[in-house]
Structure 1
Amino acid sequence: MKQVFLICAHKDIEQLNALVEALRDPDFIVYVHLDRKSALDPAALHPSAIRVAPRIDVRWGGFSQVQATLVSLRQILREQPDFDKVIFLSAQDYPLLPNELLKRELMRLQAHELLETAPIRPDGWNVGFRYQFFHREGGGKLERLACGLANRMLRLTGQRRRMPDGFAPHGGASWWALSRDCLLEALRLADSHPRLLRFMRTVQCPDEMLFQTLVMHSRFAERVLSDNFRYVQWPEQGARNPKVLDAADFERIRASNAHFCRKLDSQASAGLLPRLRQWKESRAAA
C-alpha cells in the first residue's frame, strides 16, 4: 500500500533533499510545502518530490501553519486516490527505520490513527489559555490594540472563550500519521463548520489543536493511538521549541520505539547524523 509523506520546509535545501532521498521508494510518495518567505529555491528541490501549490507564508504559532497543511492535504487528496496514510513531517525530521521496516511498521499500525492527543483541560493538557483568549497573527497596530483590549475584558470579567459548535478542545504535537479516510472526514468537518476555522484564526498554535479536535470529534476517534512515533527531547517544561539533537542523544534515540526523530540541524547535528545513518543501515541488513 502506498504511503504519502508531507514535508513542511523553510530552510536548508540540502537537509531537505537528504530527507526526500532517504524516503525515496516505489511505495512512498513525497510532497513538500516550501514556506513562501523562505530563500529555498524550488528548482533545487529533489526531483522525486512533488511541490505543493500555492505556497503559504508560514508564521510560527499562527493560523498560517494550519493553512499550509490544509492546502497541502487538499492537493494530496485530489491527486492521490489510493494510499494508506499521510505522514506529516518537518524538514528537520530524520527517519530511524529503513524503508522496508518502516513499511512493515505502518502496515502493522494500519488500523490506527497515529495522533498524539489529549483533552485540553486542567487535568489533561493544561494549555487552555491558547484558545480561551484572543491571539493575533500579524495585523496592524489597531488590530493588536483591539485584541489586547478584548483579552483584558475577558480577564476582568472572569470570562473565557469556548470552542464553537460543541467541539471539545483537544491538543498535541503537530506531527502525525492519519489515514486517507480520516483526513477526508476531518476536512469535511472543517468545511462544514466554518465558525471553527474562523475561531482557530485567533488561537495560539492552532496547528497543535485543529486536527486533534476534528479527529476526536469524528467517528475515527476510537481508532486513535495517542503516539506519533517521534523521538523529541524537550529541554525544560514550558519550552517553546524542542532541543536540537546531537551526538549525545544517540543512545536515547536508539532505545526509543520512534519511527522518526526531530529536530535536527545539519550543523548542530553533524556528529549525530552519521551514527543514525550507520545504525539505520545495520537495521536494513539485519
Structure 2
Amino acid sequence: MKQAVLIMAHKNLNQVIRLIRSLSKSDFHFLVHLDSKMDVTDSEFCNLLNCSDNVFIVKKRISGVLDTWSLVEISLSLIELAKQIELNKNIHYSYYLLLSGQDYPIKSVEYITEFLGKTYPKPLIDCTPYDKHNWLYYKFNVIGIREISKYVDSKLNRGILRKIIKLPLIIYGSLLGWVYRNFLYDYKLYGGSAWWILPDKVIEFILHEIKTNGHKINKLKITNTPEETFFQIMTMASPLSNLVDLNPKDMVEQNCMTYAHFSDEGKPFMGHPYILTKEDFSKIVKLPQLFARKFDTVTDSNILDMIDRHIVNNT
C-alpha cells in the first residue's frame, strides 16, 4: 500500500527536510507545499534534500493564513498533485496523511505502515458534530468577520473607537451566521483538528463534490477556521461516514493521529499548541498517536534526537 504524505511547510526548511527523511524508508510519497512566505526555491529545496522520485513539490505557492480558506486551498493543491502523480506513475495511494512542517513521527515507520494497513479504509479524523452549546458555535454562527476584525485591530489602537467600529461587524456576522446555519448550508456541520489521515474513497468523494457541487462548497468558505471544518463536513457526507469515530458533542480534546499540546498546568490556553521540548519527552513516548506537533528546532532540536533514539531502541 502506497501512502501520500501531504506536507504544508511555512518555516524551518531544515526541519521539513528532517521530517521527510524520518519517514523516507517506506512506501510513502511526499507532496510538499512551500508557503509563498518561505525564501527558498524549489531547486534549492531539492538540492538540500537530494530529492528522489518520491518527493514532489506543488508549483503554485499560496500564502497560508490561519483561520482562512487558504489552508484548505493548500491542502487541496497537495491532493491534486497526488492525483496527478498517481496518473503519471500508474500507482494508487490508499491513505492521504496531512502534516505540517512542524510535525514529527513518534512511532517507527514500520509501526505506522502496519497500522495504516490494518486500519484502511477507516477515516482517521477528529470529528465533532455542531451544537449551539459547543465550541463549534462560533465557527458557523458568527461568520465572515474574523479577517475584518483583525484588520480593524491592526489599524486602530484599543479603545472606544475600535469597539464602536467592530460592534456592527459582530452583529452582521451573527446575523449572517444565523441565516447560513438555518437556511443556506447544504451539509450537516462538523469540526475538529486540521490534521487528518483520509482514505482514497473519501478523497475521491471530496474532489467529486468540488467538481459537481461548487455552489455548495462555496458556502463553506466563509466559515471561521474552515481548515477545522471543511474536511470533517466532507468526510461525514461521504460514503465512509459510518466508519468515523464521532466525538460526543461536548468533547473538547482532539481525537486524531497527531498529538498537540494545547494546555498545561500554570499556563494559559493560547488557542494554538505549545512548542514541544525535551521536557515533554516522557509524555510523548507514551502517546498512542502516530505523530506529534509542534516542534521547533530553533527552540529545541534535542527533543527530535531523543525521539529518534527511542524509536530505534524500541524497533
TM-score using structure 2 length: 0.81
TM-score using structure 1 length: 0.88
Secondary structure of 1:250's aligned partner: helix
Unaligned runs of 5+ in 1: none
1:170 and 1:155 map into 2 onto residues whose CA distance is 19
Superposed displacement of residue 279, structure 1: 0.4
1:192 and 1:10 map into 2 onto residues whose CA distance is 31
* 2:151 aligned with 1:133: no
Q: 2:203 aligns with which of 167, 183, 204?
A: 183
2:236 and 2:177 map into 1 onto residues whose CA distance is 28
CA RMSD of aligned residues (A): 2.7
* 2:263 aligned with 1:235: yes
Aligned pairs for 1:33-48 within 5 A? 33-45=33-45, 46=49, 47-48=51-52
* Structure 2 letter corresponding to 1:40: V
Number of residue pairs matched by the alignment: 281
2:250 is matched with none
Superposed displacement of residue 121, structure 1: 0.9
Superposed displacement of residue 39, structure 1: 1.9
2:6 is matched with 6
Superposed displacement of residue 198, structure 1: 2.1
Secondary structure of 1:242's aligned partner: coil
1:120 is matched with 130
Aligned pairs for 1:1-286 within 5 A? 1-45=1-45, 46=49, 47-48=51-52, 49-80=55-86, 81-122=91-132, 125-135=134-144, 149=168, 151-153=170-172, 155=174, 159-162=178-181, 164-225=184-245, 227-235=255-263, 239-284=270-315
Checking the alignment, whether the CA contact within 8 Å between 2:4 and 2:28 is kept in structure 1 is yes
2:9 and 2:204 map into 1 onto residues whose CA distance is 24
Identical pairs, percent: 22
Secondary structure of 2:96's aligned partner: strand
CA distance 1:176–1:159, change in 2 (3 Å)? closer
2:230 and 2:237 map into 1 onto residues whose CA distance is 11
* 1:243-285 residue CA offsets vs partner (Å, 9 max, x unmatched): 100111111111111111111000223231221111011122x
Checking the alignment, whether the CA contact within 8 Å between 1:118 and 1:171 is kept in structure 2 is yes
Superposed displacement of residue 150, structure 1: 5.7
1:52 and 1:147 map into 2 onto residues whose CA distance is 38
Superposed displacement of residue 217, structure 1: 1.4
